[in-house]
Structure 1
Amino acid sequence: MMKRRSFRSGLAGCALLALGAVTIAGMAAAEPIEFFQVDGVSYDAAVPTPEEVIGWGLGDRPVRHDQLVSYLSQIADGSDRISVETIGYTHEHRPILFFVVTSPENHARIDDIRAAHLASLEPGAAANDGPAVVWLNYGVHGAESAGMDASIPTLYHLAAAQGDEIEATLDQSVILITAIFNPDGHSRRVNHVETFGGDIRTTDPAHEQHNLWTAARTNHYWFDLNRQWLLQTQPESQAWLEQWHEWKPQVSADFHEMGTESTFYFHPGEPLRRNPLIPEQARELTLGIARHHISFLDSEARLYTSEEGFDNFYVGKGSTYPQVNGSLGILFEIGAARGGLIESRRGLVSHADNVRTHFRTSLTTIAGGLAARDEIAAYQREFFANSMTAAQRDRDRGFVFTAEGDPARVNMFIDLLNRHDIRVNQLARDVRSNGRTYRSDDSFVVTLAQPQYTMIRSMFDRLTTFEENVFYDVSGWTLPLAYDLDYTALGRDWSADLVGAAAQPAELAAPAPPRSNYGYVLRWSDYYAPRGLYRLLDADLRVRVATEPTAIATHMGATSFGPGAVFVPLIGQDVDNDAIHQLVTSIAREDGVAVHAVTSGSTAAGSPDLGDGNGFRAVRRPEILVLFDDGLASYDAGEVWHQLDHRMHIPVTLRRKNELGGMDWSRYTHLVIVGGGNTGLSDRTRERVNQWIREDGGILVTMRQASRMAQTEFLGMEAVDNDADDDGEAPTERRNYADMGVDDAEHVIGGAIFQTDLDPSNPIGFGYSDRDLPVHRNTSFTLQRPEDNPFAVVAEYTEAPLLSGYASQRRQDEIAGTPAIIAQRHGRGTVVMFADNPTFRATFRGTERAFMNAIFFGGLIDRPFGEYEEE
């Protein structure tokens, strides 16, 4: 066995690299607990070490999630300094552990400490002399192993360290630790590292053991959980955010990994890329804490960087969200060791050493927070006091919103606001504002005069101009637009008597319909109507869908329904009437879909009768194939998978794009191809898919770059190059190299929200109450308008399309008036093309409906037969 190495210096690694290919015995990268213990600190021998419980030192092998849970739980169970609880479960049913660390005396009154801390943040409250509250995030990205495993030495140290210093730290602070944020991604990474590991450690970066990033970075449905602080669509983020607001910590640290060649980074971030809602004082206080990191790093002559490369703009990240909620958010990034030990130009990078660095900067975060405890506490109180002052001066006064005909969608938005500790009230009386009447029975109001004023503004505001146009993530996240809500600032229409009772998400259940002797009809505008429709089709019921507005005789009298209404006749079914009634009752109660009992097949004048073959058309059960990998964006594919499987309970077949040989295409009704860097298909696959569409009636649904591919590869259209010069080659303007970063980003669309004009009479537009449809856009290309089919464009961008976020005027002009959604026949099949991603981060409720319409109603698209000359 080789002698154990300390990788605190890169010199030894550089010498080894000079020998060429490097292999090191498996134990060489492992470190015993002494490697992590702080010099000069004695440790309680009764507290078990990782080697004693897990069986090896950190860095030897990956620590599985069950081992991490077992070890950390054992530490907590044996310590009067630590309490632990399971705060939630992942999609794969792994527990998420939450630790509270403080002195035994503080634990005895922990509820009082928390209550006093929260009370001190109320307007006009006195200062609180209680402990500092520090939050540590470990492992939001599953591929970033050091961020997860750092929880092990951190909790060990907090449980076992002895002496006056640790006693004072525990007495003066409450340390909140989530370990780990992303158990499913973490488990995927461990499996990969173990699968390609050997008895001899291979440090070659080309080795497959080191080649795992996006696949393990994400959760089960391939969501980046570090974008979920704001959006709150995943169980992991919902669990931790509830705890965060239960405490409202003063300092929040977030531990990550970056590219192997990078060194070590810590906040504050790029000065010009700070969200304008974050006070400058937050940066100054973060700089004060940074001095503690610097002191440690300098003591070991480590390389590091700060104040560059990372922004604080998108409020949905773990280091930015705290900063628009009165806390100090601190991001840590370290060059990844991937498989455990890897070569780099700066020497060998060791996982154990990375874990130690994150552990030691966890301690410096706590120390820095304690050193400036009074200043940070005063800043947090002032943040909320200033928020209330700004709210009282804000002329908007409050926002009113509704989702006409879709209580589930408005319920989800209320739940989202509640998760961010934002108070929502029922609208007490009807009000007319900004040209629209909001009714009290289905509208809600958010008053700005509440402590979460800053968060409200961050969610409701529409920003379209920025000091600098470089964004690490999306630039526009106006969430009422994402949910396709009708909303407005009340301003002069505000009145205190508009604020009714506090609103909570209502029960999803809709009333059960009475028995019918004719049939049942389901309202398509309800968010979960696609889930209900699939349940009907999966039960082998024959179903017909309204293709135009209609007034149907129901148990509630003549009832108006929009296009997409689902009619289930009793005649001609292979299932008895009692079973049908039981099923539609379950759909009403479990899916929240309005179901009506039909009393007659005759409809009001002007509406097609229920037996009309054009007014009501049959739909078939979808069998959906979703492609992923091989150049397709994993996030996009995961969002489609999540929407269909998790939300709508529709089974999905996932297949790698380059592994389609031997597929039985007759099995599938739909093929979904998302965007990405390489959406192209092999010649053989392209020919087979084209045949499947044209001859078998298959429905192709594409998004972003795949839509441009569909136009060129299947519809024979030429791609539009928005960056091409109309006059041919033109001389390139000379620019300063230092301006490259900003100039490159000038015409990049920073995840903005655009407005489109939607045709609600098109089957892809069924279920919408108006023509305005906000969409998320993060690409600059445009789709071509079909020349011979004036009905193919379902939605197009308006002439002034930018609603929220960044897009240069050039890009706005290029996109204005171009197609956003196209649906057209191709032989016996259909191609539905989305210029954008309609399922973006499982948050854009409006465009999700268009995607579900493509799934269920794509087959209803007809081909025009008239002659339409260009005007």
Structure 2
Amino acid sequence: MARLTALAGAFAALTAASAQAEPIEFFQLDATPYDESVPAPEDVLGFGVGDRPVRHDQMVAYLTQLAEISDRITVETIGYSHEGRPILFFTVTSPENHARIEEIREAHLASLAPGAEADPDAPAVIWLNYGVHGAESAGMDAAIPTLYHYAAAEGLEVEADLRESVILITAIFNPDGHSRRVNHVETYGATVPVTDPDHEQHNLWTTARTNHYWFDLNRQWLLQTQPESQAWLTQWHRWKPMVSADFHEMGTESTFYFHPGEPRRRNPLIPEQARELTQGIARHHIAFLDSEARLYTSEEGFDNFYVGKGSTYPQVNGSLGILFEIGAARGGLIESERGLVSHADNVRTHFRTSLTTVSGALAQHREIADYQREFFANSLQAGRNDADRAFVFSAEGDPVRAGLFVDLLERHDIRVNALARDVTVDGRTWRAGEAYVVELAQPQYTMIRSMFDRITEFEENIFYDVSGWTLPLAYDLDYAAVGRGFSAAILGDEVTAEPVVQPAPPVSSYGYVLRWSDYYAPRALYRLLDADIRVRVATEPATISTSEGRIDFGPGSVFVPLVGQDTGRDAIHAMVRDIAAEDGVAVYAVTSGSTASGTPDIGDSSGFRAVERPEVLVLIEDGLATYDAGEVWHQLDHRMHIPVTLRRKNDLSGLDWSRYTHMVIVGGGNTALPSSARERVEQWVREDGGVIIATRQAARMAERTFFDVEDEEEEDASDEPLARRNYSAMPVDDAEHVIGGAIFAGDLDTSHPIGFGYTDRFIPLHRNTTLTLARPDDDPFAVVVEYPEDPLLSGYASQRRLDEITGTPAVVARRLGRGSVILFADNPNFRATFRGSEKMFMNAIFFGNLIDRPRGDYQ
């Protein structure tokens, strides 16, 4: 009897938990028959959409089963997330189109070539992507009723839609964030749905929004540093769809939004006609939403400026990008001022506007096809007419960094050529064999301009995201526009990105030296240190005798002696050979410890100093920016293969401080260390020789905490009352003195350990804060990087902010007892894309304790 009672209780609990579930009829279209042999979601999942989160493996299984059953759907795995989850790509069209799908794809791409004739019978290519943000549940789960509909719906209308279109669906853009959200919702789930917005089940924004390394994948369309985005962008360019729809969630109190966006916040590279055609599609959304008396908005709030978002990137690539945002139900059912918001209803809205996207695109099929052809034809012609003609670029001493940029351009379908012969631009000579050329006369001209241009003037200074993304600056490349000096003769073979493999050094009887300017040199150095191989690092330039003759090496160059090692010579040679092949680092066999006159011999204890293996502690959460911390984690762990310990900022008790050599503190809203830990952290630096690396707001915190630097008080410009302003102008006026994610120039001391490996003093820096660092009054050598006059390179900053920043430190490195504190006013690892400033961060990791304190009287 007790067992029957328990089972009855469990059944009652299940019934209560399923109260919000919606049967498939909730999603089906009225008057549309559905094939009952196609399983509905609840037939396979065991619950209806909206009942509970659908795990990634469940979604994969169900949607894959639909593809196996239906002759309208095919599926392929196009990549894997960091955590190894598959990313599924579905092609939805009529069986007849499937039989010649590759022919359709190739014909569509051919139709975009200059002078190509339009095929009036060619199907429209439409892209629907779901789930780029893991916390936005409706944007993911909408793929379920959408694919079910196209598998099961019957009748002339759906058959015509499938015959006239090829619908491309990426079901889950962000499997790892999706899985994190599901775990959170289930962890705090209850038998009775809790609608209180303060319930922990509804608190799942940032950590579930991002991927494994806490990257916002909706910023990855342009930057392409994560495997998820690399997978989907490859498919996007394989097809170049006419329309791209991007489904999201926003704050619960919001209603429903769809593009076109705010008209004044349109990237000037996007044609006005794109907006007009998007308005035509929007009328189909409006017809559906009005039919159900739903609340919605359009043309407000959201911009189309940053080209790296899922709804803007298509618009600078010949497509119509459409953003959808709906007020989130968070855990599933939540209270709002407009009533209860349910996950199932949000999924239904996204599903129905997926269908109206298709119907709206088909209603303007010919106009959109003509627009897309004209876009690429106009782009090509603009490239031919552009006075610049081409861009040339190189990365002196770092072929890997140049190759990474080639790979980025290739991912955006931009043709890159080797430089066939030397060319001189503005007094600088670019060498064949070292530099690359991007000709502007190609269909991707608009995309090239969006990546290479430096824009510093804007119609309006309100930005949802960064305002400057000049990517050659982010990669710290030397680059220039080639105008009158251009001729076809400078174009060498078209190049594709290949891993850089350096030649293996011959066996040495003395030791080996590694060039520090190579991008993966920090990974190579850690590999050596982790194998307990002793190394010495050059602190100044040295001319070293090698098997290839005397070669000039810069500060930071790594010398691996053969003497005094516990590892055999054969094993050391095998390791440096692997470093050359796998890390792309140039390695040379040293023939003598005697260097050229005027440079330190290798045995000089000040000219070559020992470094130890870093043990890095990265603080997270408790007010620290998750994105910033994720970028540090990604840079150290994923790229440089350096293990890191992640620890909550407010939970530092019980640590074995003797284990760690470095602590990284990123910016955020609350960077203050807990009072219980401050004294111990300072002791760790002063007495144990620890190194603190602090960025953005944390840099200011470290100044105050460890060097008694006081905040500068804002000075009133005048004693007069503030002038009256119109309330309607507040959004624009508030943004007047922001720094809209811009790129600034820095003057870098390349002789400083934090500047090792750089070949010139110019360093581009990403900046999105207004804070400034103080100039140390007791150490004239502590400022590693300073903002020069006129520092703005690309993006928005008001003249007031430029005046405040000019001449202030961008990077400060100071000794504190036996340790060091290294402060970055900016984020050197911003979105894993500023590959130039990343090296300074890695130098702080390896060379932070090579910094000497001044001994002289400099007053």
TM-score (norm 2): 0.98
Q: Provide the C-alpha distance between the structure 2 equivalents of 1:857 and 1:696, rounded to a whole number of angstroms.
A: 16
1:687 matched to 2:662: no
Q: Provide the C-alpha distance between the structure 1 equivalents of 2:833 and 2:158, rounded to a whole number of angstroms.
A: 44
Of 727-736 and 742-751, the range deviating more from structure 2: 727-736
Which position in structure 2 is the counterpart of 1:15?
A: none
**Match for residue 89 of structure 1 among 80, 85, 109:** 80
For 1:697, what is the secondary structure of its paired residue?
coil
Q: Provide the C-alpha distance between the structure 1 equivalents of 2:500 and 2:676, rounded to a whole number of angstroms.
A: 47
Q: Deviations over 1:247-296 (max 9, x none)?
A: 00000000000000000000000000000000000000000000000000
Which position in structure 2 is the counterpart of 1:823?
A: 813
**Match for residue 503 of structure 2 among 496, 507, 511:** 511
Which position in structure 1 is the counterpart of 2:98?
A: 107
Matched to 2:688, the amino acid is D
Which position in structure 2 is the counterpart of 1:836?
A: 826
Which position in structure 1 is the counterpart of 2:559?
A: 567
For 2:836, what is the secondary structure of its paired residue?
helix
Matched to 2:329, the amino acid is A
1:24 Cα shift? 11
**Match for residue 486 of structure 2 among 494, 512, 516:** 494
**Match for residue 314 of structure 1 among 293, 302, 306:** 306
**Structure 1: which 5+ runs fail to align?**
1-22
Which position in structure 2 is the counterpart of 1:401?
A: 393
Which position in structure 2 is the counterpart of 1:747?
A: 737
Q: Provide the C-alpha distance between the structure 1 equivalents of 2:81 and 2:552, rounded to a whole number of angstroms.
A: 41
**Match for residue 785 of structure 1 among 756, 764, 775:** 775
Which position in structure 2 is the counterpart of 1:175?
A: 167
Q: Provide the C-alpha distance between the structure 2 equivalents of 1:441 and 1:666, rounded to a whole number of angstroms.
A: 48
CA contact (8 A) 1:484 1:844 kept: yes
Matched to 1:529, the amino acid is A
Which position in structure 2 is the counterpart of 1:52?
A: 43
Q: Provide the C-alpha distance between the structure 2 equivalents of 1:356 and 1:288, rounded to a whole number of angstroms.
A: 22
Of 150-159 and 128-137, the range deviating more from structure 2: 128-137
1:436 Cα shift? 1.4
Q: Deviations over 1:624-680 (max 9, x none)?
A: 000110100000000000000000000000011111111111110000000001100
Which position in structure 1 is the counterpart of 2:354?
A: 362
Q: Provide the C-alpha distance between the structure 1 equivalents of 2:321 and 2:503, rounded to a whole number of angstroms.
A: 46
Q: Deviations over 1:148-175 (max 9, x none)?
A: 0000000000010000000100000000
1:348 matched to 2:355: no
Matched to 2:34, the amino acid is Y
Q: Provide the C-alpha distance between the structure 2 equivalents of 1:619 and 1:796, rounded to a whole number of angstroms.
A: 27
Matched to 1:117, the amino acid is H
| RMSD of aligned alpha carbons | 1.0
Q: Deviations over 1:590-621 (max 9, x none)?
A: 10100111110000111100000000001010
1:656 matched to 2:648: yes
CA contact (8 A) 1:221 1:641 kept: yes
Which position in structure 2 is the counterpart of 1:856?
A: 846
Pairs within 5 Å for 1:457-476: 457-476=449-468
1:506 Cα shift? 2.8
For 1:451, what is the secondary structure of its paired residue?
coil
1:179 Cα shift? 0.9
Pairs within 5 Å for 1:604-643: 604-643=596-635
Which position in structure 1 is the counterpart of 2:186?
A: 194
Q: Deviations over 1:72-125 (max 9, x none)?
A: 000001111001000000000000000000000000111111111111111111
Pairs within 5 Å for 1:14-93: 25-93=16-84
Q: Provide the C-alpha distance between the structure 1 equivalents of 2:177 and 2:427, rounded to a whole number of angstroms.
A: 48
1:367 Cα shift? 0.2
Matched to 1:505, the amino acid is A
Q: Provide the C-alpha distance between the structure 1 equivalents of 2:660 and 2:145, rounded to a whole number of angstroms.
A: 51
Q: Provide the C-alpha distance between the structure 2 equivalents of 1:728 and 1:364, rounded to a whole number of angstroms.
A: 56
Q: Provide the C-alpha distance between the structure 1 equivalents of 2:376 and 2:392, rounded to a whole number of angstroms.
A: 23
**Match for residue 248 of structure 2 among 250, 256, 261:** 256
Number of residue pairs the alignment of both structures matches: 845
Q: Provide closer, same or farther for how the CA distance between residues 70 and 505 of structure 1 changes in structure 2, counting only shifts above 3 A.
A: same
Q: Deviations over 1:27-68 (max 9, x none)?
A: 221101000000010000111111110110011110000000
Q: Provide the C-alpha distance between the structure 2 equivalents of 1:206 and 1:180, rounded to a whole number of angstroms.
A: 28
Q: Provide the C-alpha distance between the structure 2 equivalents of 1:140 and 1:726, rounded to a whole number of angstroms.
A: 45
Pairs within 5 Å for 1:157-168: 157-168=149-160
Q: Provide the C-alpha distance between the structure 1 equivalents of 2:496 and 2:101, rounded to a whole number of angstroms.
A: 28
CA contact (8 A) 1:44 1:162 kept: yes
Which position in structure 1 is the counterpart of 2:8?
A: none
For 1:627, what is the secondary structure of its paired residue?
strand
CA contact (8 A) 1:101 1:170 kept: yes
**Match for residue 426 of structure 2 among 408, 425, 434:** 434
1:699 matched to 2:699: no
Q: Provide the C-alpha distance between the structure 2 equivalents of 1:562 and 1:51, rounded to a whole number of angstroms.
A: 65
Which position in structure 2 is the counterpart of 1:20?
A: none
Q: Provide the C-alpha distance between the structure 2 equivalents of 1:345 and 1:24, rounded to a whole number of angstroms.
A: 28
Q: Provide closer, same or farther for how the CA distance between residues 784 and 726 of structure 1 changes in structure 2, counting only shifts above 3 A.
A: farther
**Match for residue 213 of structure 2 among 211, 214, 221:** 221
Q: Provide the C-alpha distance between the structure 1 equivalents of 2:637 and 2:51, rounded to a whole number of angstroms.
A: 38
Q: Provide the C-alpha distance between the structure 1 equivalents of 2:716 and 2:192, rounded to a whole number of angstroms.
A: 59
1:716 Cα shift? 1.1
CA contact (8 A) 1:711 1:719 kept: no
1:727 Cα shift? 6.1
CA contact (8 A) 1:24 1:201 kept: no
For 1:693, what is the secondary structure of its paired residue?
helix
CA contact (8 A) 1:720 1:784 kept: no
1:507 Cα shift? 2.7
CA contact (8 A) 1:24 1:200 kept: no
Matched to 1:850, the amino acid is M
Q: Provide the C-alpha distance between the structure 1 equivalents of 2:428 and 2:820, rounded to a whole number of angstroms.
A: 37
Which position in structure 1 is the counterpart of 2:710?
A: 718
Matched to 2:273, the amino acid is Q
Q: Provide the C-alpha distance between the structure 2 equivalents of 1:865 and 1:560, rounded to a whole number of angstroms.
A: 30
1:765 matched to 2:778: no
1:682 Cα shift? 1.4
Q: Provide the C-alpha distance between the structure 1 equivalents of 2:115 and 2:797, rounded to a whole number of angstroms.
A: 41
Q: Provide the C-alpha distance between the structure 2 equivalents of 1:385 and 1:491, rounded to a whole number of angstroms.
A: 22
1:217 Cα shift? 0.1
Q: Provide closer, same or farther for how the CA distance between residues 430 and 265 of structure 1 changes in structure 2, counting only shifts above 3 A.
A: same
Q: Provide the C-alpha distance between the structure 2 equivalents of 1:719 and 1:124, rounded to a whole number of angstroms.
A: 63
Q: Provide the C-alpha distance between the structure 1 equivalents of 2:427 and 2:636, rounded to a whole number of angstroms.
A: 36
CA contact (8 A) 1:257 1:334 kept: yes
Which position in structure 2 is the counterpart of 1:13?
A: none
For 2:260, what is the secondary structure of its paired residue?
coil
Q: Provide the C-alpha distance between the structure 1 equivalents of 2:567 and 2:108, rounded to a whole number of angstroms.
A: 61
1:481 matched to 2:447: no
Query: Percent identity at matched positions?
Result: 75
Q: Provide the C-alpha distance between the structure 1 equivalents of 2:506 and 2:716, rounded to a whole number of angstroms.
A: 64
For 2:484, what is the secondary structure of its paired residue?
helix
Matched to 2:574, the amino acid is Q
For 1:42, what is the secondary structure of its paired residue?
coil
Q: Provide the C-alpha distance between the structure 2 equivalents of 1:729 and 1:670, rounded to a whole number of angstroms.
A: 47
Which position in structure 1 is the counterpart of 2:10?
A: none
1:868 Cα shift? 0.8
Q: Provide the C-alpha distance between the structure 1 equivalents of 2:81 and 2:127, rounded to a whole number of angstroms.
A: 21
For 1:162, what is the secondary structure of its paired residue?
coil
For 1:850, what is the secondary structure of its paired residue?
helix
1:732 Cα shift? 1.9
Which position in structure 2 is the counterpart of 1:10?
A: none
1:313 Cα shift? 0.2
For 1:799, what is the secondary structure of its paired residue?
coil
For 2:789, what is the secondary structure of its paired residue?
strand
Matched to 1:87, the amino acid is I
1:25 Cα shift? 3.2
